[in-house]
Amino acid sequence: MFANRLVKNARNLQRWAKREGVSCYRVYDCDIPELPLTVDRYGASDGVHALVAVWEGQRPRPDAWVEAMVEAVKRVLQIGSDAVHLKVRQRQEGLAQYEKLGGERRRLAVQEGGLRFLVNLDDYLDTGLFLDHRPMRQMVREASAGKDVLNLFAYTGAFSVHAAAGGARSTTTVDLSQTYLDWATDNFRENGLLGAEHRFVRADIVRWLGEAPARSFDVAVVDPPTFSNSKKMLGTFDVQRDHATLLAHVRRLLRPGGTIWFSTNARRFKPEAAAFEGCEALAEVAEISARSVPFDFRDRKIHRAWRMLLR
């Protein structure tokens, strides 16, 4: 049953991926409720790889069950055991999704929209490229020509790379982790985009926002973690509790007519009216979740996203 669904999905996605210049996408997304796993296909220079993530519930899956799923993936995608990367996952919050699991340090170059991104399929729970943000990255790219772009909670800088490729006048990539800022720099280098106009800033973002000069940017991408209690930052961050204050700081940094792209993976997130529809500083607020979740994801609630236009 699983193999049949995998064959159907892979066949349907193949033409689209080639047309769009995308080599990494989801081919199975818990389509069958009794089979709770996801399969992401990564086409790299050394061939096809598969990231198989088994979602644990209250009862762990038997090893034989996991092995049967992996064998089906190998057979359908025609890959060997060394090209299957298996992870057992639970819902993660905050920085837990970024914690290091191993030390392989093997990175693969994949493609998205004619750009190259480095991914690591072994050492972290996440790979360095959030596949569910693919459409939103394209939206930001199309809106960045001639603009000064700020990317907060930037992770490995994929939004920044897209903005630079879209003709941004400058990009500022801000994250708490030097490891991920170095990774972002490598992503820029992979695409021949490194230059003085592209800055990489290691900082506690909430503190940095309070110190940065006002009206310095035209576009801001804000994709914060659900929760963070990192020792590197002052206090804790909770997206539900803190998003209104966060967005107020971001608005201060934008020029009139600027755009904020805000996203969260918090499934219980409830936007405060004062930060969204009830904010007088905003000329327009539109939830773009339906358009920002890619069609290869069956889970339409994997994130929520908004575009906010300033007066």
C-alpha torsion 154→157→158→159, nearest 10: 60
What is the rounded average pLDDT of the residues 72-99? 79
130 neighbors 160 (Cβ within 8 angstroms) = no
Phi, psi of 209 (to 5 degrees): -60, -35
The pLDDT score that the predictor gives to residue 277 is 87
The pLDDT score that the predictor gives to residue 221 is 98
- Pair (81, 210) in one structural domain: no
- Pair (86, 133) in one structural domain: no
- Pair (145, 288) in one structural domain: yes
- Pair (86, 29) in one structural domain: yes
Confidence of residue 59 (pLDDT cuts 50, 70, 90): low
Q: At what angle do helices 158-165 and 134-142 cross, to 10 degrees?
A: 40
Q: pLDDT tens across 112-135, in order?
A: 999 999 999 999 989 999 999 999
Q: pLDDT tens across 179-194, in order?
A: 999 999 999 999 999 9
- Pair (149, 246) in one structural domain: yes
Confidence of residue 56 (pLDDT cuts 50, 70, 90): confident
pTM score, whole prediction: 0.93
What is the rounded average pLDDT of the residues 170-178? 97
**How many Cα neighbours within 13 Å face the side chain of 143?**
22
Residue 300 is assigned to a structural domain of this protein:
yes
- Pair (67, 135) in one structural domain: no
Task: Give SS3 for 246.
Answer: helix
- Pair (157, 258) in one structural domain: yes
Domain CATH number, residue 149: 3.40.50.150
Total count of domains within the chain: 2
- Pair (70, 131) in one structural domain: no
- Pair (65, 158) in one structural domain: no
Confidence of residue 88 (pLDDT cuts 50, 70, 90): confident
Mean pLDDT, the chain, rounded, equals 93
Residue 120 structure tokens: 């690591």
Residue 151 is assigned to a structural domain of this protein:
yes
The pLDDT score that the predictor gives to residue 90 is 63
Q: What is the distance between the alpha carbons of residues 281 and 256, in angstroms, rounded to a whole number? A: 9
Of the candidates 42, 71, 90, which is a domain's last residue?
A: 90
- Pair (67, 167) in one structural domain: no
- Pair (82, 136) in one structural domain: no
A 10 A CB-CB count for 81 gives: 9
Residue 219 is assigned to a structural domain of this protein:
yes
Domain CATH number, residue 82: 3.30.750.80
Q: What is the distance between the alpha carbons of residues 135 and 137, in angstroms, rounded to a whole number? A: 5
- Pair (57, 163) in one structural domain: no
The pLDDT score that the predictor gives to residue 101 is 60
Provide the β-strand partners of residue 164.
none
Residue 28 is assigned to a structural domain of this protein:
yes
Residue 116 is assigned to a structural domain of this protein:
no
Residue 113 is assigned to a structural domain of this protein:
no
Confidence of residue 65 (pLDDT cuts 50, 70, 90): very high
Where residue 21 falls (left for φ over 0; alpha for ψ -120 to 50; beta otherwise) is left
The pLDDT score that the predictor gives to residue 103 is 61
The pLDDT score that the predictor gives to residue 94 is 47
User: What is the extent of the structural domain holding 24?
Assistant: 2-90
Residue 119 is assigned to a structural domain of this protein:
no
Residue 122 is assigned to a structural domain of this protein:
no
